[in-house]
Amino acid sequence: MKKYDIVIIGAGCSGLSLAHRLLDTNINICILESGNRENRIRKTWSYWDIHQHPFAKLEYNSLSDIYCINNSFPIKLNCESHNYRSIDSRQFDKHMFDKISLSKNIDIVFDICVDEIIAGTKYIQIKSNNIIYEAKEVYDSRPDNIRASMYQVFLGYYINAIPPIDKVMPKLMDFTQDNEFSFYYVLPFKDNSCLVEYTFFTPTVHSSEELKSNLDSYIKDAIGQYKLIRSEYGVIPMSPNLPEQDHVKNVYKIGIRSGATRASTGYTFLNIQKQSEFFAKKIQGIHSTNPLLTFKAKILRKMDGILLRIIRNEPEEAKNIIFKMFTLNNDQTIIRFLSDIPSIFDILRIIINMPKIIFIKYAIKSLINRKI
């Protein structure tokens, strides 16, 4: 039986981000990952450069403006002071696996699927088939299989345009094509390749097959003929309510499992970084505030609950609300709001600029029933 101070379950973004903060400390850590070291799911994490974190040197793309588009016109979001940046999870994995192999205090075990966590008097037991690990604290990033009322479902194609084109317009949300609450996301990279994603906010999980033909026609219309480099498909549960704490003492949820995803946008990367800082400090006995439990985080969750209800019941209205948010608020306010770092004034400005009747109607519904 192997004993550690800490076991981290899952070597994904949250597990490795927490491990990074604890490298070369006197805390013995074991990361248990069900997947294989080589066949890792490859993702691109994008966010506004508004919160410092240790992975900034891995950023390989940086945009100083990005657009939101509906049927009437494009609105530019000026990101000059907080560029829209991207990290390739393959580079992130390599960086972290190299660091862990050089570290004296962190072990990582692949191909081990944790299926049970059992409370003990001094140590918690983490079980996988016949193997048992013991730890004083456990940080668990396994996806929760609880059914959510809404999901963000997306299919992304990494493409090269044929023939190559100089400039593709970066689009955060292009609402021009569909009736439901769906949009296209276009992220051009420096090497002339491009990520084009078709995203749905939906109560039913669409398969990647169902999204393929629309994505293909959109790319052909917006960019032209293309060569597919690789694709990514994602399903992110979106709930404005934080999941319940684990029933075993000293077992903490991290990452998406902990509610780190911003329910109305799907952005998670920066919240994972803030959460990792918080837990790393806690583990080392330094007091700080859990970023998911602050007053502002609670207000944002309430607002997300209202917006998700509108998206679910009145998708066309929801598109107008989002488009208006981009039209009526200043760029800094929008970036801080979408990055979960708004000031109270930013929140007030966003609320004041919302269409009043629909916002109040769904705010009242949210007060009566917490479920979307």
Instruction: Give me the residues that bind ligand FAD (CB under 6 A), please.
Output: 9-15, 32-35, 43-47, 113-114, 141-142, 232, 234, 236, 255-256, 267-269, 272
The least CB distance from residue 154 to ligand FAD, in Å, is: 7
**C-beta of 14 vs 61, nearer to ligand FAD:** 14
CA distance 2 to 191: 46
The least CB distance from residue 48 to ligand FAD, in Å, is: 10
**C-beta of 66 vs 114, nearer to ligand FAD:** 114
The least CB distance from residue 172 to ligand FAD, in Å, is: 11
Q: Are 140 and 159 in contact (CB under 8 A)?
A: no
Closest residue to bound ligand FAD by CB: 12
**C-beta of 70 vs 339, nearer to ligand FAD:** 339
The region that residue 151 occupies, defined by phi over 0 for left and psi between -120 and 50 for alpha, beta otherwise, is beta
CA distance 135 to 125: 7
**C-beta of 54 vs 358, nearer to ligand FAD:** 54
CA distance 324 to 42: 34
CA distances from 183 to 180, 198, 269, 326, 346 (A): 9, 6, 21, 15, 25
The least CB distance from residue 218 to ligand FAD, in Å, is: 18
The least CB distance from residue 152 to ligand FAD, in Å, is: 9
Residue appearing with tokens 């990367």: 269
Which tokens sit at 282?
Answer: 């806690």
Q: In this structure, which long-range contacts are made by residues 145-148, counting pairs with CB atoms below 8 Å and at least 24 apart in sequence?
A: 146/237, 146/243, 148/237, 148/238, 148/239
CA distance 215 to 307: 25
**C-beta of 267 vs 359, nearer to ligand FAD:** 267
The least CB distance from residue 122 to ligand FAD, in Å, is: 23
CA distance 290 to 258: 12
**C-beta of 29 vs 354, nearer to ligand FAD:** 29
**C-beta of 254 vs 310, nearer to ligand FAD:** 254
Closest CA to 194 of 12, 334, 76, 46: 46
Q: In this structure, which long-range contacts are made by residues 188-192, counting pairs with CB atoms below 8 Å and at least 24 apart in sequence?
A: 188/63, 189/60, 189/61, 189/86, 190/60, 190/61, 192/160, 192/161, 192/164, 192/165
**C-beta of 322 vs 354, nearer to ligand FAD:** 322
The least CB distance from residue 231 to ligand FAD, in Å, is: 10
Cβ neighbours of residue 216 closer than 8 Å, sequence gap 6 or more: none
The least CB distance from residue 262 to ligand FAD, in Å, is: 8
